[in-house]
Structure 1
Amino acid sequence: MKYLAAFVGLLLSMPALAQVPAPGQSQSKPILLSGATLHVGNGTVIENAAVGFANGKITYAGPKSGASSASYEVVDVTGKHIYPGLIQPNTTLGLVEINSVRATIDTREVGELNPNIRSVIAYNTDSDIIPTIRANGILMTQLTPVGGTISGLSSIVQLDAWNWEDAIVKADEGIHLNWPTSLLPLDNIPNPRYAEMKQKREHTLLELQQMLRDAAVYKAAKPEKENLKLAALAGLFDGSRKLYLHANFAKDILEGVNFAKQQGVKEIVLVGGGDAVAVTDFLKTNNISVIYSGVHQLPNRDDDDIDLPYKTPFLLQQAGIPFALDYDLSIHGIRNLPFIAGTAVAYGLSKEQALSSVTLNTARILGIADRVGSVEVGKDASIIVSNGDILDMRTNDVTHAFIQGRQVDLNNKQKYLYDKFKNKYESEAKQVLN
């Protein structure tokens, strides 16, 4: 009993700020952010602007001179910058907490073909990592399962919720297909397993083809007895669900897109896209959008331009390919999403184009642009305010964040620990000086 009492006492003594902040209260009164520079997200910039929102929806976005403050609680943000909340696609945030602890990992299911697996039901809204992501302006993510050939269904969530049901913005919106990488024998390096690996790949593709054909028949037949796997795939044939094709090499991109088209898949989004700039004509002809994951990675080949990953967003923009940026599946790296967009600025994109690549472009590709992605009247009040340029790590300093009009608590464990030890060593330094 004494040990239990000691344990309870320890829990009660833990500072509240070290815990995951509680979700914000629903917006109770209209708010007007006044005096900042507004970056709409669609390329428009308005100096000395105002943004008003009520009941979670944006009611005004324009020059400060045109805003009536009569019914609003005015928040003075003069000299600051207002942006739409950033969106991170293709992530396992909330599905894994500590990579070295198996019990905290819930990113994949056993087996190769799992189209019916729903990633969102494993989403942990109490993850310690989520508040650290919000602090840099990321307010929404696409939960993506991993592993196997067909990993399962992704869902889009906002990052301020009590549970996964409350977090959902768009549930089960797409199927993720990891295209089997082409196998090329190396002339001077014999591989006794090459024939076996090639046969296994061909078998995987035949299984995949058969499942998609069965799903098309299932959709047309509308049987009384539900088949969960085939039912999950059915939406690919009428465009109600997207196929997210994960591929990097040019040969795999061409092969994967052609395969999906032959099976009757309507909406295809390329994820990864390391060689996307080598096949831009093909992507444009087939109306393929790209979620590019490689800005801060090395080139695919030794003889590639060392700056190619940095320049790829600009080259995609020049080619007219709709694209968004993501920071791959690294849960801790997601906080750097605005900075990979900043890197793209240094290599050709304008600042507003780069902003769109992590806001409105992403919302369009994910099918949620009618609700978020830009600061426009009628959309959800998913808004961030920064003291400086959100894309520059030297000036990124988020002071306010709102999700559906609710003010988000920007405290997190890292900020708490920083203040804790900063105060400790400053106090010790003063004692030494005295």
Structure 2
Amino acid sequence: MRIHKRYISALVALLFSMPVMAQVPAPAAKQSKPVLLKGATLHVGNGQVIENAAVGFDKGKITYAGPLNGASMSGYEVVDVSGQHIYPGLIQPNAALGLNEVESVRATIDWREIGDINPNVRSVIAYNTDSDIIPTVRANGVLMTQLTPLGGTISGSSSIVQLDAWNWEDAVVKADEGIHLNWPNMLIETGNSRTDERLKRMADRRDETILELEKLFRDAAVYKAGKRESENLKLASMAGLFTGAQKLYIHADYGKEIIEGVNFAKKHGVKEVVVVGARDAVAVADFLKANNISVIYSGVHALPSRAEEDVDMPYKTPYLLHKAGIMFALDYDLAIHGIRNLPFIAGTAAAYGLDKEQALTAVTLNTAKILGIEKQAGSVEVGKDATLVVSSGDLLDMRTNNVTYAFIQGRNIDLNNKQKYLYEKFEEKYKAQQQQVPAGATSSAGN
């Protein structure tokens, strides 16, 4: 098919006419000199709050975090953030951020692979650091995410990345840290003969899937032990599950599915298990506690799972998990564009039982512990990466969340993004239109 030169010229002109400010900001330069933030309220991330605090960092690492009167300012570039709040950078688990840009454009979607059993698939190599969505997420304080593949029974491996990088290699914080297993759904008979026939076929397929998983995990354990005849990438990619080097993330919501999936993993010698989704986690809290299972809870801003549940059950589930002694993190599991709302689901949890610092921990230090990166992230403590945010108001409240500075590994990142650009653009448009309206006339701007 021939394309007329006129259309090509128009397309090129359109591309070059796009405003530079609407593009993804370039990654920040490496920290070149020590920085000291002074005068803010420090929310450490471990439950501790320090008024009139200071945080110093050099070469990407935190060198001081404590009262201002104990800080040495010699050699530091001092930034006065008096009256503001310092928080650890928030961490979003279980996300396809950078793997999926526009739902309706297939070429921008790279979050799953063909087939049902893909433990060897690595999500991180598909990560698009130029995603327009990433800057909008950073602007609300989310600075790290767990890149998670979707689809199939075993989706592949996830990796932890920081959100300011030229490419996926620069972004990686911890590569291939876990394998994701979507536990087969249990089915409930309805009493309708036609529906029951369909459900029976689905139940048969479920049984076949579990048998396939049984064989896979047995083979992987044998392969890891060194008894092999040839190289097998699928089995080799699962070796870390049996040594504790990798976690098995079991995606399940229904209580019986959670129990079945965890028992399956334990039977096959998997060392570290995390349940993702976990809408019924409170119902099986004793089981989770007895088996030392952590939870990534995905349902705070969701409807109740059952008609008989309290309407605010999803909101108060984090408090009930905390009360039961379950290690948990919070996950904004709706559209990837909504990941910027991660601080606000923590705020909702704080309004329904958790105190503010416990809620903050659920999106910072707890998440870091579950993902295995607590030695470098999740709290503002000496020796950890200087990945933190400064907000003029409460970060967990959508009315006052206003990030003024964000640092990733000590680098002062650009907080501009496409949404801010469009807001400013159309604000100017409507201001100009209002100024042109004669006195006493009614403006039709925006109609």
Q: TM-score range by the shorter chain?
A: over 0.9
* Match of residue 39, structure 1, among 43, 66, 71: 43
Counterpart pick for 2:138 among 134, 137, 143 = 134
Show the 5 A alignment for 1:179-190.
Answer: 179-187=183-191, 190=195
What letter corresponds to residue 81 of structure 2 in structure 1?
A: V
Contact 1:236/1:242, CA 8 A, preserved across alignment: yes
Match status 1:22 vs 2:26: yes
Distance 1:157 1:368 in 2: 11
Which deviations, in whole Å up to 9, do the C-alpha atoms of 1:295-342 show, x marking residues without a partner?
011111111111111010000000000000000152011011000000
* TM-aligned CA deviation for residue 14 of structure 1: 2.8
Q: Is residue 363 from structure 1 mapped to residue 368 from structure 2 by the alignment? A: yes
Gaps of 5+ in 2: 440-447
Assess, with a 3 A threshold, how the Cα gap between structure 1 residues 431 and 271 changes in structure 2: closer, same or farther. Answer: same
Q: Unaligned 5+ residue runs, structure 1? A: none
Q: 1:395-426 deviations in whole A, cap 9, x for unaligned? A: 00001000000111000001000000101110
The AA in structure 2 aligned to 1:312 is T
Question: Counterpart of 1:429?
Answer: 434
Counterpart in 1 of 2:233?
A: 228
1:364-407 CA distances to partner (integer Å, 9 max, x unpaired)?
A: 00000000000000000001000100000000000100000011
Task: Output the CA distance in 2 between the equivalents of 1:14 and 1:340.
Answer: 35
- C-alpha displacement of 1:234: 1.2
Q: CA deviation at 1:3?
A: 6.5
Alignment RMSD (CA, Å)? 1.4
CA distance in 2, matches of 1:287, 1:173: 19
The CA distance in 1 between the partners of 2:295 and 2:113, in whole Å, is: 26
Deviation at 1:8, TM superposition (A): 4.8
Q: Equivalents in 1 of 2:9, 2:203: separation in Å?
A: 62
Deviation at 1:103, TM superposition (A): 1.1
- The answer on whether the counterparts of 1:91 and 1:329 sit within 8 Å (CA) in structure 2 is no
Following TM superposition, by how much is the alpha carbon of 1:100 offset from its aligned partner in structure 2, in angstroms? 1.1
Secondary structure, counterpart of 1:95 in structure 2: coil
Counterpart in 2 of 1:98? 102
CA distance in 2, matches of 1:334, 1:43: 23
Other structure's SS at 1:147 match: coil
**Number of equivalent positions:** 434
1:50 paired to 2:30: no
What is the correspondence of 1:174-253 to structure 2 with a 5 Å cutoff?
174-187=178-191, 190-221=195-226, 223=228, 225-253=230-258
Which residue number corresponds to residue 113 of structure 2? 109
Q: 2:299 aligns with which of 294, 297, 305?
A: 294
Question: How high is the TM-score relative to the length of structure 1?
Answer: 0.98
Identity within the alignment, %? 71
Q: For the residues of structure 1 that align with 2:85 and 2:305, how far apart are their CA atoms?
A: 37
My pick for the range that moved more, 99-108 or 311-320, is 99-108
Aligned to 2:443: none
Q: Please say if residues 91 and 330 of structure 1, whose CA atoms lie closer than 8 Å, have aligned partners that are also in contact.
A: no
Query: Residues of 1 paired with 2:288 and 2:26: CA distance?
Result: 43
C-alpha offsets along residues 148-175 of structure 1, whole Å, 9 cap, x if unaligned?
1100000000000000110000000000
State the Cα distance separating 1:222 from its structure 2 match.
5.3
Instruction: Pick the aligned partner of 1:327 from 308, 327, 332.
Output: 332
CA distance in 2, matches of 1:102, 1:242: 30
- Contact 1:107-1:145 within 8 A present in 2 as well: yes
1:226 is paired with a residue whose SS is coil
* 1:309 equivalent in structure 2: 314
Shift of 1:432: 1.8
